[in-house]
Structure 1
Amino acid sequence: MAEVDYPADTVRMFVPANPGGGTDAGARVFAEFFEKHSDATVAIVNQPGGGGVIAAQSVARGPEDGSVLLFFHAALHTANLFGQSPFSWESFTPLATTSAVNEVYAVRSDVPYASMKEFIDYAKAHPGELNIGSQLGGTTQVKGEALNAATGGAVRLVDAGTESDRITALLSEQVDVISMSVANAKQYVEDGQMKVLAVINSQPDPMAPDFPTTTAEGLDFSLPLVMTVYGPEKVDDDVKTAFTQIIKEIEADPEFATALQKQAQVPALRTPEQASEFLSAEQKTIAGLLGK
């Protein structure tokens, strides 16, 4: 495998999250393989404040030589659409997508519906009875809106907080369905406490290949949480050229998928051009679901 000549010797990658979470873990795996397949060194800079705004500010007007990068996901879209951030994906130069975290729609094991079709039929027959627990203002609200749309607006979205809060709310019967990570859902399914209606993706998750996907269940949406690397608003052309080469080298490295699997993530590699197309479509999908 070739070592790509990168324009900057040292890269600072700003991550709008605390160390130890999924976004930080994805950034660190990508940084490891970026170093492996280029001649650059990468330093992770965690800047969790402001819902991503502080880290975005650190990068948006940064140098054009590829030495400053932002590592984020669809929360960039939602924060902008909800008026919480002035930065959209178009405020930056997309350089790559790297990995994805899949989530599922989960319900308690004692409910009378065991599939997505049965859930939708039940919701339509009992309008206003069921609640979707989401974290309002974030990416889980988008997933909640998508499911609500599938029921024809028969369910209600309520703010149930973070994933751990949503799990507690579901098991204590405060809400009826939540989105949550595949890794956590797998544990609760094995313990007999939950049932999974669908993975919110068009592709099965390798960690739980038996979980059906939303598209297999007849729902026309796929919303994995895709990790993305951005450069400043303007970057030199040789940065994009180098990224294209580095992404291709990482894609050919089987150890990348293995490293991601340990973090409950899957590869989702795209070059700068492919990333731009993906982000444009992702933003439009999210805006449509939020009625923006």
Structure 2
Amino acid sequence: MNLKSLRLTSLALAAAAFAFAAQAADYPVSSVRLLVPANPGGSTDVNARLFAEYFQRHSNASVAVVNQAAGGGVVAAQTLATGPKDGSMLYVWHAALHTTNEFGQSPFPYTAFTPLATTADYNDVYAVRADAPYSTVPELVEYARANPGQVTVGSQLGGTTQIKGDALNKAADGAMRIVDAGGESDRITALLGEQVDVISMSVANAKQYVESGQMKVLAVINKNPDPFVPEWPTTASQGVDISFPLVFTIYGPGEMDPQAVEAFKAVLEEMKADPEYAEALEKASQVPSIRGPEETAEFLKEELEFVQSLID
């Protein structure tokens, strides 16, 4: 390489470094612990690790993901509640924060913390066996009403899937039975083993069972189509007023330092403008849905009201 080329290369590298530095927002602490109330490998953990990666890219802070699955999320919530308020401890979870509190399994409502952001939606579907005598939610509701007590919905009691089951049962005027069938893998086994008739499950997992001819999807549980399977109908498109995607939400501790909140917002804006972050979420079958602190607080209020309407 001649001297002129070397100089040009050095200038290009310096310009790239300057551009990256210009995009790195100043954060008040050098390291952040991101608490995840779930085991490694699941959708929440994947979301947290992507958030951590891109938060690091767009700030001067390093982020360590800490999995604390014990107690159905209560242990992680307790850690956050007693943690520092300077922005060095954050927490990612979804509507299970509402359900565990409403069902008396956790003492922490979302208002115990500082809402900071939502990052992505992760859609579920209502799925049945391929030989079921109904292919849409209205057909299922009609069948259940005509055969009260015969349709069994497999849910995980106390979790978000119970709310999805309760919402479906409410549409059928209480003609279905809701039973505890465990986590998603257990619910799939129960459905294929004819122990239950309907389950909610993730779009990502449902695709393989539909393709193999073992299941059919009645609807995506959202008012908006899922971009990964736009051909699947939504509940709303069938005239059913149920929309309840898992929305991954970032929280800080209660009464978080306002300066740290403002610094977080600056980092989030950089992440939102980064197309690679959106692409990474989409590769994980998650729909980018970024809200700032004010929008997130309003969204959580509405999300809780939906949960409470079904529990009541």
TM-score by structure 2 length?
0.90
Question: Residue 269 of structure 2 aligns with which residue?
Answer: 248
Contact 1:64/1:236 (<8 A) preserved:
yes
Q: Is 1:25–2:46 an aligned residue pair?
A: yes
Contact 1:70/1:230 (<8 A) preserved:
yes
1:62-73 equivalences under 5 Å are 62-73=83-94
C-alpha distance in structure 2 between counterparts of 1:209 and 1:14, whole Å:
33
Return the match for 1:48 from 66, 69, 79. Answer: 69
Q: Is 1:119–2:140 an aligned residue pair?
A: yes
Count of aligned pairs between the two proteins: 291
Percent of aligned pairs sharing the same letter: 60
Secondary structure in structure 2 of the residue aligned to 1:216:
helix
**Residue 88 of structure 1, CA deviation:** 0.7
Q: Is 1:285–2:300 an aligned residue pair?
A: no
**Residue 22 of structure 1, CA deviation:** 1.2
Question: Residue 88 of structure 1 aligns with which residue?
Answer: 109
C-alpha distance in structure 1 between counterparts of 2:108 and 2:100, whole Å:
8
Contact 1:61/1:233 (<8 A) preserved:
no
User: Over aligned residues, Cα RMSD in angstroms?
Assistant: 1.2
Return the match for 2:181 from 136, 155, 160. Answer: 160
C-alpha distance in structure 2 between counterparts of 1:269 and 1:197, whole Å:
28
Q: Is 1:189–2:210 an aligned residue pair?
A: yes
**Residue 245 of structure 1, CA deviation:** 2.3
Question: Residue 191 of structure 2 aligns with which residue?
Answer: 170
**Residue 244 of structure 1, CA deviation:** 2.1
Question: Residue 25 of structure 2 aligns with which residue?
Answer: 4
C-alpha distance in structure 2 between counterparts of 1:172 and 1:47, whole Å:
32
Q: Please identify runs of 4+ aligned residues in structure 1 that moved more than 3 A.
A: none
Contact 1:243/1:272 (<8 A) preserved:
no
Contact 1:59/1:70 (<8 A) preserved:
yes
- Structure 2: where are the runs of 5+ without partners? 1-21
Greater Cα offset, 28-37 or 117-126: 117-126
Summarize deviations over 1:147-185 as a string: whole Å, max 9, x none. 111111111101111111111111111111100010111
Instruction: Say which structure is richer in helix.
Output: 2
Return the match for 2:57 from 19, 36, 41. Answer: 36
**Residue 187 of structure 1, CA deviation:** 0.7
C-alpha distance in structure 2 between counterparts of 1:220 and 1:241, whole Å:
36
**Residue 246 of structure 1, CA deviation:** 2.2
**Residue 257 of structure 1, CA deviation:** 2.1
Question: Residue 201 of structure 1 aligns with which residue?
Answer: 222
